Amino acid sequence: MEKEASTKENVTSSLAAQKLDRDTLDLQKSQGGEPSKEIESLSISTGGPKLENNGEDGLVEKTDVSGDLKSKEQGKKLDSNPSHSGMGEKIDERMDLESKAQEKDSDSNKEQNDSGHKVASTAQEEKLHNDGHDNLGKKTDQGKDLESKAQEETNQTTDKILGEEEELEPVFDGTEVPGMEANRSMSTHTLDLDSETQGVVKKAVALTNLVKIKGVVVVSTFLRRLSGKRDEDEQDVIDHADKNASDSTKDSEAREVSQKTVDRSAWNPLSFIRTSQDGDAENKAEQREEVIEEPAQAIAIKGRVILYTRLGCQDCKEARLFLYRKKLRYVEINIDVFPSRKLELEKIAGSSSVPKVFFNEVLIGGLSELKGLNESGKFDEKIDYLISEPPSFEAPLPPLSGEDDLSNSGAIDELALIARKMKEFVIVKDRFYKMRRFMNCFSGSEAVDFLAEDQYLEREEAIEFGRKLASKLFFHHFLEENLFEDGNHLYRFLDDDPIVSQCHNIPRGIIDVKPKPILDIASRLRFLFYAILEAYVSEDGKHVDYRSIHGSEEFARYLRIVEELQRVEVKDMQREEKLAFFINLYNLMAIHAILVWGHPAGAIERKRLFGDFKYVVGGSTYSLSAIQNGILRGNQRPPYNLMKPFGAKDKRSMVTLPYSEPLIHFALVCGTRSGPALRCYSPGDIDKELMEAARNFLRNGGLIIDFDTKVASASKILKWFSVDFGKNEVEVLKHSSNYLEPAVSEALLESLAKSQLKVMYQPYDWGVNC
């Protein structure tokens, strides 16, 4: 085999050498000179033994043959144009440098190769010889290793330098491998192999590092969130990984032309309010495949429209709808929410009856006056007045921030002042405990020293005073091992806790006002929720005007109310009070999350919204998932999870309901189209209202029975939380039959008794309920 290989190599080498010598002689004759030794060395280097250099065979071989063809083409050009003699000399010099470098590489690689490489070289030689010398420059092994990718990138980069037409590379976004087929045309210029190959290899390594770094971050984050835990340094790790990845790919990304394809759509109605935090807002704002009718564009006016309303007023609802259809933006003043405006209305209108509409300072009247102006055709004149005239100082003003708001008002908490003073005295820093680092801690001995000095107490009395502060939730043991003790025990202030500080109802730290009773806060929250529902939610509860809620004074007041939940006592609430409070809090919290983070586009975003958007209530943090599965479902595992929300030692487990409440699934609204209607629930009628919510959901598409085909089409809510309704599908359907129409319920029970019903689950529409 070795003899045959050497024979074929000699034949190939001699043929290529003779051919190149003839072309070189013609070139030299045309220039009037002698054949160059540099060209002789080039022709020798194009021999067959170069195929023994493994991964570099194709690259060196292609360059040598390319050099041969280049010499011929340059010779022809020089024959036809004497002015190109200088260019020929430059080509000869570059060919000389390349041939010397290639001969060095060839000699060193030949010494290191073994018999196995020779056998592979022989097979390649036979194939190339049979196919003819025209196929000598083709790539022998495409798409198998990094060097073949480097060769492909080299040719494409060369084409780019030469200014020739080229095709864009397939987009590489980390989820698919670029195509290995590419157009390869022989260049008429020389290649700087060392610099080009080195650059392409660096680029490939950078892409590999990017995929590895991103993969590690994604997998670790997913596993951490799946286990229900959150590392305190998670954000730092992600930021560090992103920084390294961006640095490693900075140069390569600057030269790439990317064409990104959005294969999932997530139309976000809040894109006009706030851009997404993850940097993909442009992709997430693509239009959905399903056509959605946009609300009519409001008329641009210089004036101001004020609408006075109150809760439970049907004429007020019709007045809102009338102004909406006329494309007029208005400011609503609910005299129940803003009681001081009731006196203002009596003064300027002579009556406190509602609705009342003002165009600037001009009183238009109530609903009957609006309809009368519209029927007479004079309403358009009023609109023209609004378009051209700004409001005067006599016009009613919109609600002011904090107007008639009792939130954060009341007696100052003296203990809060002492806790704030103590925070300035003790040293709050990161400390180590059992080989672990804990952030923002202070020692119990430092706190005792401060309390003894500031309050003029003995050390034992100072310890008791510290326990009183801890019981009021100003600080807590970082591992919940004790309430408060002297010594090296470590404690954290509530607003210094890494998780609590990320909650969205503690932006300004601990408030100084004494905590109000939870029932008082729940009542004000419920009252405000009614106002939001009437003003910004459709009558059927299936459509929410998120954009208007975001800029409303009602929502601003809601944010101030939920700040009062930081240190409230919730353990002693009765079942009905707890049910109503946490259902209403969940629904308002979901609206808050969508307004802040935008509507989730996929499963990962939904998991983040349900698990990471949190409030601090009674010194503990609660996510949407913790409220639903931990409190309202009696600490049951969420669907497709292995762990319960609260552990055995978790103090939140004392707040949970004693057993799961199945009807809460027809009341909790997370902002999706397939979810239940948005309602407000009161503790006095909570069971009645939950049953009504179940009937409304199941009778309006939540459970559809086709008795002809014997198929039951059920919402996936009944599948995900089936354990709350029964042990199997039959029991789930029997439970659901209690809330269907009597005739349908009876027929369903008969079909279940005969086991003649097949259950299918409807696709869940995760689109936003706007």
pLDDT, one tens digit per residue, over 39-49 is 343 333 334 43
Q: Range with the lowest mean pLDDT among 53-67, 113-127, 177-191, 621-635? A: 177-191
Cα radius of gyration rounded to whole Å, the chain: 38
Q: How confident is the model at residue 31 (pLDDT cuts 50, 70, 90)?
A: very low
Q: How confident is the model at residue 485 (pLDDT cuts 50, 70, 90)?
A: very high
Mean pLDDT within 248-262: 40
Q: Is 162 helix (H, G, I), strand (E, B) or coil?
A: helix
Torsion of CA 93, 94, 100, 105, to 10 degrees: 180
Question: What's the gap between Cα 423 and its chain centre?
Answer: 36
Mean pLDDT within 20-28: 51
Instruction: Answer yes or no: are the C-beta atoms of 178 and 172 closer than 8 Å.
Output: yes
Q: How confident is the model at residue 18 (pLDDT cuts 50, 70, 90)?
A: low
Closest residue by Cα to residue 454 from 439, 469, 441, 472: 469
Tell me how far CA of residue 603 lies from CA of 67, 607, 766, in angstroms.
55, 6, 10
Q: What is the pLDDT of residues 502-514, one digit of tens each?
A: 999 987 777 888 8
Q: How confident is the model at residue 545 (pLDDT cuts 50, 70, 90)?
A: very high
Integer Cα distance of 458 and 440 in angstroms: 27
Angle at 770 between CA 294 and CA 555, to 5 degrees: 120
Q: In this structure, what token pair is assigned to residue 57?
A: 């065979």
Amino acid symbol at 760: M
| Most confidently predicted of 162-171, 271-280, 559-568 | 559-568
Amino acid symbol at 435: M
Looking at residue 512, what is its pLDDT? 83
Integer Cα distance of 27 and 42 in angstroms: 15
Looking at residue 215, what is its pLDDT? 74
To the nearest 10 degrees (0 to 180), the angle between helices 2-31 and 57-80 is 20
Q: Range with the lowest mean pLDDT among 215-224, 375-384, 522-531, 548-557? A: 215-224
Q: How confident is the model at residue 224 (pLDDT cuts 50, 70, 90)?
A: low
Looking at residue 761, what is its pLDDT? 95
β-sheet with 490-493: strand ranges across: 429-433, 436-443, 490-493, 475-477
pTM of the model: 0.64
Q: How confident is the model at residue 304 (pLDDT cuts 50, 70, 90)?
A: very high
Cβ contacts of residue 460 below 8 Å, gap of 6+? none
Q: What is the pLDDT of residues 559-602, one digit of tens each?
A: 999 999 999 999 889 999 999 999 999 999 999 999 999 999 99
Q: Tokens 């009556």 map to which residue?
A: 351
Higher pLDDT, 206 or 506: 506
Looking at residue 513, what is its pLDDT? 85
Integer Cα distance of 148 and 204 in angstroms: 11
Cβ contacts of residue 243 below 8 Å, gap of 6+? none
Mean pLDDT within 751-762: 89
- For the chain, what percentages of helix, strand and coil (3-state, to nearest 5) are there? 55, 10, 35
Looking at residue 209, what is its pLDDT? 73
The rounded percent of the chain whose pLDDT value lies above 70 is 62
Q: Is the pLDDT of residue 118 over 90?
A: no
Looking at residue 198, what is its pLDDT? 56
Mean pLDDT within 382-410: 89
Q: How confident is the model at residue 714 (pLDDT cuts 50, 70, 90)?
A: very high
CATH architecture for the domain at 305-388: 3-Layer(aba) Sandwich (3.40)
Q: In this structure, what token pair is assigned to residue 72?
A: 């011929």
Q: Which CATH code, of 1.10.10.1110, 3.90.105.10, 3.90.1150.10, 1.10.10.10, is assigned to 414-498? A: 1.10.10.10
Instruction: Answer yes or no: are the C-beta atoms of 312 and 397 closer than 8 Å.
Output: no
Instruction: Answer yes or no: are the C-beta atoms of 681 and 583 closer than 8 Å.
Output: yes
Q: Is the pLDDT of residue 725 over 70?
A: yes
Average pLDDT, the chain: 74
HSE-CB at 82 with a 13 A cutoff on CA atoms is: 4
